[in-house]
Structure 1
Amino acid sequence: MNTNKNAAKRLPLAGLLALAMTGFLALLSEILPAGLLPQLSQGLGVSQSMAGQLTTVYAIGSVVGAVPIITATRTWGRRSLLLLTVCTFLVFNTITAISSVFILTLVARLFAGVAAGVVWGMLTGYARRMVSEDLRGRAVSIAMMGIPIALTFGLPLGTFLSSFIGWRSLFGVVSLVAAVLIGWILWKLPDFPGQSDKSSVSVWSVFRTPGVRSILFVVLAWMTAHNILYTYISPLLASVGFNQIEFILLIYGIASIVSTFLIGRLIDRYLRPLVLGSLIAFILVTLLFGFSSNLPVGIYVAIILWGFVFGGAASLLQTAVAEAVDEQAVDIALSLSSTTWNFAIACGGAVGGILLNKAGVSSFSWVGFVLLILAMFVAWKAKKYGFKSKR
């Protein structure tokens, strides 16, 4: 009897790490062009600004594809859908690797982005179904581990490797990773059924569920504030005399990874306090950026604290969405959350660009401060249905 109980308490690490690798693959596929713009520009015969659109169309695919595809495939077995998304990465990253036609490469990137949108809409739900209720938050944290790892190590390593093997071979390596991941998923991931054909769950009914709109607002405000700072981190740090951007991002990334482990330990019991604490900490980050322009120690503290805040954000927000709805509505709710997240990335880039041109980098922290105060207010008020207290 004790043996059975202990087995039920174990995390299926091999399967959860397969989900983490899927997230790593999705994010790495998105951000790789950012470190390869000169090579992509030369190889495809376009300007660097046009080469940058390879990231833009990927993001567009993620935004427009998640909700309709998750909804249309809600009756499918979950493993079949996940395998389809990984096969999509394999096919379209391979096309990117061999294509010499810019338009074809753009189309390939668009469809890869659609697959990423589906991944972000189902990873959390998949991880939650693999474990007992008291381990769900920890499982989600492991499944989300691919995000900080891709940001911290994936992009720098990819950029470094491209100088030896070229950008086309690099995308070929990413396709090879996808091929290995397909076997990993078949070997270690259990399958779960989709919804019944008779299910009446719709996108609109999920959106109207008490608490969901509050959470989506917090996602939008929090991630817009984050991306105003992160998208333009180079000019932001240069304005306060920091020129070693790679070192700063490494510190940020390590803090994010450590945070993911810590959040995983606490999230099942302290979801609401962790969300509120993270927002308070991020508000403090904006104040440190605003008032520490001549104090290097303050900037380093801000970077480390910011990394801690972002590392656990995906796990916290995705878990909050999943717990706000019925089990059969989880995947649709998560697709709404991932779409809002990706929309916030676009908003952060657009708003940050306007602020940079009109008001300068010093305005970033104060706009972020206002957004986070709004997010804090909504999260605080959403005590009953959104960011619920556990008693």
Structure 2
Amino acid sequence: MPTTAPTPPVTTALRFPLPALLALATAVFVTALTENLPAGVLPGMGETLGVSESAAGQTVTVYAIGSAVTAIPLTAATAGWGRKRLLLTAMAGFAVANTVTAVSTDYRLTLAARFLAGVAAGLAWALLAGYARRLVPPEQQGRAMAVAMAGVPLALSLGVPVGTLLGRVLVWWVPFLAMTALAVGVVGWIAATLPEQSGRPGGERTPVRRALTVPGVVPVLTVTVLFVLAHTLLFTYVAPFLDRAGLGDATDAVLLVFGLASLVSVWFTGAHIHRRLRRLTVGGALLVAVAAGVLGLWSASAPLVYLAALLWGLGWGGAPTLLQTAVGDAGGARADAAQAMLVTLWNAAMAGGGVVGGLVLGHLGTGALPWTVLALLLPVLAVVVGARAHGFPAERR
């Protein structure tokens, strides 16, 4: 009988595409840092624009609104576009928006530029998770997501402090021009390393309502809203919280501990998410809940505050990877629409965190912030534990 020589294994297809994933991580870094950078340079920005610091702070709110209101319609409208082309367009949008923000002396023009940056962010966030997942085989998807999402804690723990320092030492708009240069560099990096990924054939669109009917999508989105809301309201007002506790001078150090712990969490999540997504999500919510309890009971103790920051970072750092992986798994064939919904709700929760935290701060004082976080995390744990069959299954498909 004729024999056929065995086909040699194709190892190149299974090789971990680290350069391409690092390009995505840098794109995530640009997105996260562009959103949060104004917080560190508000005095100088407000002075140049001729507005108060609180008015200058609305540049962050406008960014979140831009992402929230455009992520779903833009994702639907560009369903047939190549993913690489779309991601390059989003990064070019960041370059334009940050340049205009840096050179503008008109408040309305600055708000328009920040809205454009939010639009670019909504488009990018709806792409990045799916792009990273499709670059690797299923058993490497968790690791790939962790590498790509590492840009978030890096932006918060290193990018914002460095940008703030540059703004103080030089001029407030210098960090924005630096972000422009980084965005341009990322465009070249993406063009050189990322393979093209096709959109839906013929531009077929997936209505949002259909994604909501997929089992597991609603529980993941519910957890996303509550978890992001809890984290954001504490993170936004951590400076006044520590100041009232007599630890105002330690704010930078506390946030550094939080950022470093977040990086550890990203690494650990990437190593174990493939088989332990459910356990990691429960563990992350529990760690943040414990941190909130420690801050609520012992905010005047510096060692315990640092311990709480450590637990907070360990619990939160892997959350973007966990939630985007969970909604991608649950969404299946409608994952793009589910991701766009997650982006929309994520940004809405961030905007809501500032509002809810401000109300709590104004009516109940800083001491109520940790207990509000704890109250929001209890239903998070209940939903994750209850979504055993779909959303956060005991065993990933």
Normalising by structure 2, report the TM-score: 0.94
Other-structure match for 1:213: 218
Other-structure match for 1:115: 120
Q: Does 1:83 align with 2:88?
A: yes
- Residues 341-363 of structure 1 show CA distances to partners (whole Å, capped at 9, x for unaligned) of 11111121111111111111121
Q: How far, CA to CA, are the matches of 1:335 and 1:230 in structure 2?
A: 24
Q: How far, CA to CA, are the matches of 1:155 and 1:2 in structure 2?
A: 51
More moved, 228-237 vs 265-274: 228-237
Q: Does 1:93 align with 2:109?
A: no
Other-structure match for 1:286: 292
Aligned pairs for 1:281-360 (under 5 A) are: 281-327=287-333, 329-360=334-365
Is contact 1:267-1:316 (8 Å) kept?
Answer: yes
Q: How far, CA to CA, are the matches of 1:58 and 1:4 in structure 2?
A: 47
- Residues 360-381 of structure 1 show CA distances to partners (whole Å, capped at 9, x for unaligned) of 1121122211211111111111
Closer, same or farther: CA 86–359 of 1 in aligned 2, 3 Å: same
Q: Does 1:11 align with 2:16?
A: yes
Q: Does 1:257 align with 2:263?
A: yes
Q: How far, CA to CA, are the matches of 2:61 and 2:89 in structure 1?
A: 23
Aligned-residue offset at 1:108: 0.9
Closer, same or farther: CA 198–80 of 1 in aligned 2, 3 Å: closer
**Deviant stretches of 4+, over 3 Å:** 1-9
Is contact 1:91-1:175 (8 Å) kept?
Answer: yes
Aligned-residue offset at 1:283: 1.6
Question: Which residue identity is paired with 2:298?
Answer: S
Is contact 2:36-2:60 (8 Å) kept?
Answer: yes
Aligned-residue offset at 1:199: 3.9
Is contact 1:65-1:115 (8 Å) kept?
Answer: no
Name the Cα RMSD after superposition. Answer: 1.6
Aligned-residue offset at 1:167: 2.4
Give aligned pairs, total.
Answer: 390
Aligned pairs for 1:187-198 (under 5 A) are: 187-197=192-202
Percent identical pairs in the alignment equals 41
Aligned-residue offset at 1:242: 1.5
**Unaligned stretches of 5+ in structure 2?**
1-5
Question: Which residue identity is paired with 1:234?
Answer: A
Q: How far, CA to CA, are the matches of 2:54 and 2:8 in structure 1?
A: 59
Closer, same or farther: CA 198–41 of 1 in aligned 2, 3 Å: closer
Q: Does 1:276 align with 2:282?
A: yes
Q: Does 1:43 align with 2:28?
A: no
More moved, 366-375 vs 316-325: 366-375
More moved, 11-20 vs 97-106: 97-106
Aligned-residue offset at 1:4: 4.3
Aligned pairs for 1:87-166 (under 5 A) are: 87-166=92-171
Closer, same or farther: CA 295–43 of 1 in aligned 2, 3 Å: closer
Q: Secondary structure at the match of 2:322?
A: helix
Is contact 1:212-1:324 (8 Å) kept?
Answer: yes
Question: Which residue identity is paired with 2:197?
Answer: F
Closer, same or farther: CA 71–341 of 1 in aligned 2, 3 Å: same
